[in-house]
Amino acid sequence: MTNTTNATNTANAGNPANGTDPKPRTVAAYAAPAPKAPLARTTIERRALGAHDILIDVRFAGICHSDIHQVGEEWGDGIFPMVPGHEIAGVVAEVGPGVTRWAVGDRVGVGCFVDSCRECDNCRAGLQQFCTGTPGTVFTYNGVGRDGEPTHGGYSTQLVVDEGYALRIPDALPLDVAAPLLCAGITLYSPLNRWGAGPGRKVAIVGLGGLGHMGVKIAHAKGAEVTVLSQSLRKREDGLKLGADDYRATSDPATFTDLAGTFDLIVNTVSADLDLSAYLGLLRTDGTLVQVGAPEKPVTVNAHALLGGRKSLSGSMIGGLPETQEMLDFCAEHGIGAEIELIRADQINDAYARVLASDVRYRFVIDTSTI
């Protein structure tokens, strides 16, 4: 990755060489004007292109359940108006004069963060999502950038981002099915990598939504034996097509007796609080349950469920820039994109309701040309 330290010091420099307009630009977007309010069309300002900035024409933006949590202030106070969207795929439209990584026309993605300190141990290790310096991990929306301005996400027609925080979308991946990889894809790829999903390993994915279906595809491509644990058998056929070897309903108590002591790794993608003790019972000795779902309420666990069998309970949050690029390349190599339902911008509020009803197969993606 290009070192772009102090990039923002040169903000507003413009690009006389190629005629870049150094002024901020007004772009169309969909925003929630207030907590829990329906999203509506609006306009926002994107900063003037700095020396190391690129302007992206956003083509597609995925709807992540995290967007809904944040519009609803389920994780704490939000910044409003809020333009959500951190599964962004588009094309470079302009580059600042100091940009070395990108050219106009390149296919790029932006995920959950757009800046970090670049100097702390985590940033140096490529774990920008855990930045401990200043300004810390600057989230793509509902965050504050170095310039002190609120960040706005991908439900918009254009985005300005530092060149070091964009990822290359390989040509083999269509942009619409690539967009969800920038959050859902990396959020599952990272723990599957870290806890060694592969041949000879039994992996369970809890919840077959946006994250879960990416987990099934990626774990299967890595050669693991994959089981889906879903609330019902309603999506069983889909799950098997996506690459699952087995599919069980968690509403059936027999699931927890039949599969006791089975899995090396369980990844819980559920957006609601679950009693994790029952799921820990499905792990083998030394198995790990990784929590990636981020519900409003605390998850509960009975300590005894961890003791017998020396089980581990862990968490994982998205992934850093190098691993996100690795994931995109892996998905391109294995022909993996998200299963999407492409929607117009005026369908965003309906899509939110359907996500909340677990009625998504398996990611809503906004065609941003309809904004």
Interface with ligand NAP (CB under 6 A): 64-66, 69, 183, 187, 207-212, 230-231, 235, 269-272, 292-295, 316-318, 355, 358, 360
In terms of CB distance, is 98 or 133 closer to Zn ion?
133
Q: Which two tokens stand for residue 268?
A: 């819980």
Select from Zn ion, ligand NAP, none the partner in contact with residue 331, using the beta carbon and a kind-dependent cut-off of 5 to 8 Å: none
Residue 123 lies near Zn ion (rule: CB under 5 A): yes
DSSP state of 18: G
Q: How far is CA 86 from the centre of its chain?
A: 6
For residues 11 and 131, which CB has a smaller minimum distance to ligand NAP in the complex? 131
> Does residue 269 bind Zn ion (CB under 5 A)?
no
Cis upstream peptide for 81 (omega within 30°): yes
Choosing among ligand NAP, Zn ion, none, which partner's interface includes residue 160 (Cβ < 5 to 8 Å by kind)? none
The one of ligand NAP, Zn ion, none whose footprint includes residue 69, by CB under 5 to 8 A per kind, is ligand NAP
State the minimum distance, in angstroms, from the CB of residue 43 to ligand NAP. 27
Of ligand NAP, Zn ion, none, which one does residue 355 interact with (CB within 5 to 8 Å by kind)?
Answer: ligand NAP
Cβ nearer to Zn ion, comparing 247 with 352:
352
Output 203 or 321, the one with its CB closest to Zn ion.
Answer: 321
Q: CA-CA distance, 62 to 364, in Å (whole number)?
A: 6
131 binds, among ligand NAP, Zn ion, none (CB under 5 to 8 A by kind): Zn ion
Q: Which does 2 bind (CB under 5 to 8 A by kind): Zn ion, ligand NAP, none?
A: none
Q: Which residue number, 110 or 276, has a Cβ lying nearer to Zn ion?
A: 110
Shortest distance, CB of residue 124 to Zn ion, whole angstroms?
8
Q: Confirm or reject binding of residue 183 to Zn ion (CB under 5 A).
A: yes
Min CB(213)–ligand NAP separation in Å: 8
Nearer to ligand NAP (CB atom), residue 87 or residue 94: 87
Q: Which pairing describes strands 158-162 and 53-62: parallel, antiparallel, or unpaired?
A: antiparallel
Choose the one of ligand NAP, Zn ion, none that binds residue 55, judging by a C-beta under 5 to 8 angstroms depending on kind. none
Residues 44-73 that bind Zn ion (CB under 5 A): 64, 66
- Alpha-carbon gap, residue 158 to 154, rounded angstroms: 8
| C-beta atoms surrounding 59 within 10 Å | 21
Distance CA 162, CA 179 (A): 18
Told to check if 355 binds Zn ion by CB under 5 A, we report no
- Provide, rounded to whole angstroms, the least separation between the CB of residue 279 and ligand NAP: 11
* CA–CA dist 323, 64 (Å, integer): 20
Furthest C-alpha separation in the chain = 68
CB of 136 to Zn ion, least distance (A): 7
In whole angstroms, the minimum distance from the beta carbon of 122 to ligand NAP comes to 15
Give me 182's structure tokens. Answer: 């920038």
Q: Give, for 268, the enclosing helix (H) or strand (E).
A: strand 263-268
CB 154 within 8 A of CB 86: yes
Residues 6+ apart with CB under 8 A from 314: 191, 195, 288, 289, 290, 291
360: partner contacted, choices Zn ion, ligand NAP, none (Cβ within 5-8 A by kind): ligand NAP
Name the nearest CA neighbour of 186 among 307, 62, 83, 71.
62
Using CA atoms, how far apart are residues 208 and 185, in angstroms rounded to an integer? Answer: 13
Say what angle helices 184-194 and 321-333 make with each other, to 10 degrees.
Answer: 100
- Residue 224: half-sphere exposure toward Cβ, Cα within 13 Å: 27
Residues near Zn ion (CB under 5 A) are 64, 66, 116-117, 120, 123, 131, 133, 183
